[in-house]
Each structure stands twice: as structure tokens, then as C-alpha cells.
Amino acid sequence: MIQKQYPIPLKFACQPAASLPRTALRSLGLFSLLYLTALPSHAAAPTHISVIVSLVDNASQGIVPVPAKIGNGDDPRSNLYWGAAYGVKTFLSKADGWRKLGCEQDISDTILERCEFAWKDKLTVTADAYRGSRIDQAMLDFMLQAATPPDPEAREMVVFIGHDGLMDEQNQPIVKRFPKHAGHDKQAVVLACMSNMFFANHLRAAGSKPVVTTYSFMAPEAYVLEAVARGFANQASEAELRSAAGTAYAKYQRISAKAGKSVFGANTQAKPLSLSLR
């Protein structure tokens, strides 16, 4: 049972900017042997998710400020999206059926920590915690991974978690560096506010398939990632992945299932919900 560090999950920590409109793709070779051997020999194909987490940062991101302890983008240990109760590292380390395979600190000046997780014998996840002030690099690396065709012998997904940096005017120049690629259907997920509006077309231009994006403000916390990851491991359809995301969001945000699913476009009859910080 995950112990909450705060009384309720975050509602959202993003706000739209007033005006809207170098590194190469990092290799996952460090963990490739680890995650391949984590799966049994009878598995049909290795199934892997790469997660890029842009740490929330009050100082550099256009967000509604969160408490200082969880809003320091230079400190993954207590960061809202990494070390806090609903952060990726903490949540996946304790969630039912998951195990942490190992973590490594200070991958680079930009990537402050990398952790590897496994869910049962079906899936491995590599999660990178990016310094909050380098959200531009986090978005670029995410897009580079999305544009890279999947291994034909494996099933792959790439996920971005954090503030929607494309809402901030200072990050707009990074869009010019987003890659273009012929379609290859690598599945992509963006857990950030209004990500369907800001990321979906860029992902399609990169050849990727955006299967879970958002249609309103939201809290990009790890319970949504966990639900989507289990669905991906079980070869769920795009509609099923969106539904799973909405169900998990509704549970932890204590809202109706209809409202939760509307955040991810899974309920077309419902108007997407814009939540406010309590």
C-alpha cells in the first residue's frame, strides 16, 4: 500500500503561457541486457516502455507553483513527479506486481537519475528524471525516441511526463528541432496538460502514433502511467489504453469515471474537464 506524503493527489501544476503560438537520442544500452534477461524465455517478444520525466520546477516552468519541497527541479528525491508519493520512482517501486530492478544517479548534467522497473514477467520500464530547467531537452529527447522506428523483434512505447513545456513561449524554438519521419507506429503517450493540442501533430509528423494524450489540464502523476503500462503489456487497444488512463485518473483524483475518461478523450460525450488546484 503506497503511503501518501500529501493529503490528496495534485490537481494540476500547469497554466497556459500568456503567448502561445543537443543531445542526440540517448542510448538505452546500459539497461538493455538487464531488461531482456528480466523476461522469461517463453515471452513472445520483449515489451519495453521508455519514460522521460521532466521534473517539476517552480523556478523555470510556467506552472502554478507547488510546495517548494516538491517543486525543486534539481532534486529528484522529493520531486512531485519522481520521488513524491505519486512520482514515478516511488509509485512504481511500491505498486502491486511491480519491482524496482535498479537505479543510477547522475547519468549526465541533464538526466539526474535513471531507474529500471519490471511488471510481473511481461514488461520493463526505463525511466529518466530530467532536470526541471532542461524541459526543452526532455521534450526533444522524447520526440527523438518517438521518431525512432521500433525494433521489429520487440514491442516499444515512449512516454513523456511533466509540465507541457510547449505552452511556454521560451520553449517554442525547440519545435524547430523536432524530427520528421515516415510512419512506423511506435506508440507514444504524453501525460501533460492539453497534450493532444500541443504534441499530437508533432508525434504524427515524427511517424509515431499518439495513443494516450490529454484534452484538459491534468496532474501527470504515476498512477496513470502504471495503468497505461499494464494495458500496453497486455496488448490493449488504443481505446482501452485511454479508458484505463481515465479510470485510474478518476480513482486517484476522486472524480467521476466519466470526468476522468474525458481528460483523455475516452468519453466523447463529455466535455473535457479543466481542474483547479485545491
Give the pLDDT confidence of 56-77 residue by residue, as tens digits: 999 999 998 999 999 999 999 9
Give the list of residues 6+ apart from residue 147 with CB closer than 8 angstroms, or none: 179, 180, 181, 206, 207, 208
Per-residue confidence (pLDDT) for residue 266, from 0 to 100: 76
**Residue 262: which pLDDT band, with cuts at 50, 70 and 90?**
very high
Determine, yes or no, domain membership for 52: yes
Determine, yes or no, domain membership for 268: no
Number of domains composing the chain: 1
- What average pLDDT does the chain have? 86
CA distance 85 to 78: 9
Compute the average pLDDT of residues 81-88. 97
Determine, yes or no, domain membership for 64: yes
CA distances from 157 to 73, 142, 181, 278 (A): 25, 11, 16, 33
CA distance 49 to 231: 12
- For residue 37, is pLDDT > 70? no
Longest dimension (CA), the chain: 53
Collapse the DSSP code of 84 into the 3-class scheme (helix H, G, I; strand E, B; otherwise coil) and give the result: coil
Determine, yes or no, domain membership for 175: yes
**Residue 45: which pLDDT band, with cuts at 50, 70 and 90?**
confident
Give per-residue pLDDT as tens, 207-258.
Answer: 999 999 999 999 999 999 999 999 999 999 999 999 999 999 999 999 999 9
- For residue 161, is pLDDT > 80? yes
CA distance 234 to 242: 14
CA distance 15 to 196: 15
Comparison of pLDDT for 22 and 167, the residue scoring more: 167
Residue 243 and residue 266 in contact, taking contact as beta carbons nearer than 8 Å: yes
Determine, yes or no, domain membership for 255: no
Determine, yes or no, domain membership for 253: no
Determine, yes or no, domain membership for 28: no
CA distance 115 to 107: 11
Helix (H) or strand (E) holding 245: helix 238-253
Per-residue confidence (pLDDT) for residue 34, from 0 to 100: 40
Q: What is the SS3 assignment for 178-218?
A: CCCCCCCCCEEEEECCCHHHHHHHHHHHCCCEEEECCCCCC
Determine, yes or no, domain membership for 36: no
Residue 91 and residue 226 in contact, taking contact as beta carbons nearer than 8 Å: yes
Residue 166 and residue 15 in contact, taking contact as beta carbons nearer than 8 Å: no
Cell of 7: 493529503
- For residue 195, is pLDDT > 60? yes
Give per-residue pLDDT as tens, 99-138.
Answer: 999 999 999 999 999 999 999 999 999 999 999 999 999 9
Q: Residue 161 forms beta bridges with which residues?
A: 53, 191
Instruction: Look up the pTM and report it.
Output: 0.84
Residue 262 and residue 273 in contact, taking contact as beta carbons nearer than 8 Å: yes
Compute the average pLDDT of residues 147-152. 93
Per-residue confidence (pLDDT) for residue 35, from 0 to 100: 41
Give the list of residues 6+ apart from residue 205 with CB closer than 8 angstroms, or none: 178, 180, 181
- For residue 174, is pLDDT > 70? yes
- For residue 27, is pLDDT > 50? no
Give residue 74's domain range.
43-237
